[in-house]
Each structure stands twice: as structure tokens, then as C-alpha cells.
Amino acid sequence: MLKHKRALGGALTLVVAMGMAGSVLPATAAAATGAQSTVGKPARHTDEARLRALLHQLTTVDGAPGALAEVRDRHRSRVLTSGVADIESRTPVHRDSRFRIGSMTKTFTATMMLQLAGERRIDLDAPVERYLPGVVRGHGNHGRKITIRQMLQHTSGLPDFLAYLKPQDVVRDPMAHHDPRDLVKLALAHPPTFKPGTDWKYSNTGYLLAGMIIEKVTGRSYGEELQRRIVKPLHLHGTSFPGDDPAIPGPHPRGYAQPGPNAPLLDVTAVNPTVGGAAGGIISSGTDINRFMGALLGGKLLRPTQLKQMMTTRPTGGSDGRAYGLGLESKPLPGGGRYWGHTGDFLGYETAAGATFDGRQATVMVNLGPGASDAQSDDIQAAIETALS
């Protein structure tokens, strides 16, 4: 069943029942394979050693078969990998691997929405009803009461469709197509979680609606707009929105899920990603995500007014200092300052990315989701913060 793992965390993780159809594979503790360096000078030894140790922990103690970190600054980039892409063949993780990035998709979706706002084709403070008349209705939910801005910031009170998606429906047919309107209707069969604008709670439903607005306003599909507005201008060769295609193009690790502690790993690589859609359906690579985040913070994708709006945050209520803007979150760095990014979970995979205004970016990706505990998510976040500190 898809759900968000934490209040902020990312989001689209299929919680796999032990009886899920597919290959049942033995659990493995993978050994670190070391770093694969790219252009530039060597990183500071202490930072790279700490990052390498965290990747090793992800692929041993935490149980992920493989892990990848792509780290860059204004002068160099480097890729470190640990473990394996396939627990049967023991193939190492490819440096250009593509992963399902789950809720990292939201940052791409919000960027396109803000581009449309900058073009005056949408108004962030207009009600959803203006763009999707009659769509948000029922059980106390109404598109006249919810603004685009609230929807993008998770302050809309919209119920999250992932809270009501039946696990057996996904498990029974992982290749099934999920229409975003049907998923929205599933959510709207339940009352709002709060009055719009009065609180914060993560909801994937709002981002399905954002994808529908993009298509309505532009007259093109979400995937076409993603290519036109972000992928082609930034030359993101490993990024795609696959629609109904269950395959991951290009080099990629197999995706695994672990239903419980010491349970066998399940190969869940092939799944119809329409269950994520504009909230979590994109495929990308560490290199592409870092390039995207660098361009976003560098003002290459949004006008200054829209970038400022995207980065106008509100606290999420957690103890770690996180705050959420429009499809983008910020968090304090241990040594001072803040970084910007997002996290993402999808069946078989988990990703996190962060960037700073001084030109540093880091993306960490693993091919296990969900794992047996939250330790994996914690160590991914620690790796991001180590890389950016």
C-alpha cells in the first residue's frame, strides 16, 4: 500500500504484504564497493570517509542491497556507491543509475506550477475550483475553499488518498492503471483533515490535482510539460515520466521491499507508476537531480518572485527544524545554515536530495523501499547532511 513514511518524509511507499506476487529473494548484507570519482580534485578525506561509512551502513546494517551518492560543488562532482544493484547477479550499482524518486517528483511539479504562475497562467491564491471546476467536492471538501498555494504547501486540509488505498488492490495487480481523478475521488470520500490554511499535513492528493491543473492550463500532458520545461532545457538525460510503463529505462538497480525484520527481500522493480503520478511518478538519476536542484536554487528555472514564493516556508511541527515551502523543504545543517531539498519513497526505492545557495548539491539513493525500520531514512538524511556540511 502506498503511504508517506513520516509526517514530512517523502511519500509514496508501497507497504508490501508478505503474500505479494513476485519473486521472493533471500535477504543480503552487501559490502561496500568504494567510490567512483568524476571530474575534479579529491574531496576532503574526513568528509568522504564519513559519507562512505554511511553508505556502507545503508547496505549492511540497514539492509539495502545498494546505495549511491552523487555530490557536487562549483568545482567538482563525485559518485560513491556501495553494495549491489541485483542481489542474484551481484552486479555493482552503476554510477549513472536511474531510480524511482517518489515524492522528489513534487519539487518538479511545484516548479512547473510556479513557472505557470510567473507566466500569469495561474494565480497561486486563486481557488482550485477556477481551474478544475467540480472536481474537488464532497464530504466537506470544496475547491472554492482551497487555494493553489495551500495545495502546494500541504495546508489545504485535503485528505491523502494514500491513507485509503487498499493494499490488496495494489498487491493484486501491480500493473494496474490508476487514473488521478479516481485517486482524488478516493480521498474526497473522506472529510478534510482541517480547515484550509489552519494547519499543515502532508497530502499527496494536492499534487495529483496540481498535475491535472498543469494539463488543463497548458493543453499538454504532464510528461510533455516536464520534458519541455525542465528535462530538455537542463539536459536531464536520465529523467522521465513513464506514464503506464512499468520499466525503468537505462541503467538501474532492481528495486526491493522488505515486509518485516529478517524477512526475505521481494523484487518489486516492475510496477505501474500511475499510482504516484504528479505526486511521485518520476524516474531520475543522482546526476540529474543535483543538476535540477542547482538550477532551481540558481534561478535558472524560476523568476525571482516565484522562487521567493517557493521558499516561503512554514514549520511542519517536527522537532528537527524542518519547514515546508511550495514543493520544497528546508532543514538546518548540523554545522549551521540551512539546506533545501525533498525526500521521496516509492516501491523498491528511496531518495533524498539537498542543495545550498553556495553551489553544493547532494543526492542519496537506495534500492530498498520500504525497509524493515526507519534507520535507512535516518542514515540517508545523515549522508545528505554530511555531504553538504
Using CB atoms within 10 Å of the CB of residue 277, give its burial: 0 to 12 exposed, 13 to 18 middle, 19+ buried: buried
Query: Is 221 annotated in the active site?
Result: no
> Could you identify the residue written with the cell 531539498?
341
Q: Are 282 and 104 in contact (CB under 8 A)?
A: yes
CA distance 224 to 310: 23
CA distance 303 to 377: 33
Indicate the SS3 state at residue 353.
Answer: strand
354 DSSP assignment: E
CA distance 65 to 70: 17
Candidates 82, 103, 156, 377; catalytic one: 103
CA distance 387 to 51: 7
Q: What is the DSSP string of 49-108?
A: HHHHHHHHHHTTTS--SEEEEEEE-SS-EEEEEEEBS-TTT-PBPPTT-EEE-GGGHHHH
What sections of the chain are H helices per DSSP?
45-58, 105-118, 128-131, 148-153, 167-172, 180-188, 205-218, 222-226, 232-234, 277-280, 286-297, 304-310, 375-388
> Could you identify the residue written with the cell 505501474?
272
Nearest 5°: the CA angle 365, 289, 119 is 145
Hey, which residues are catalytic here? Answer: 103
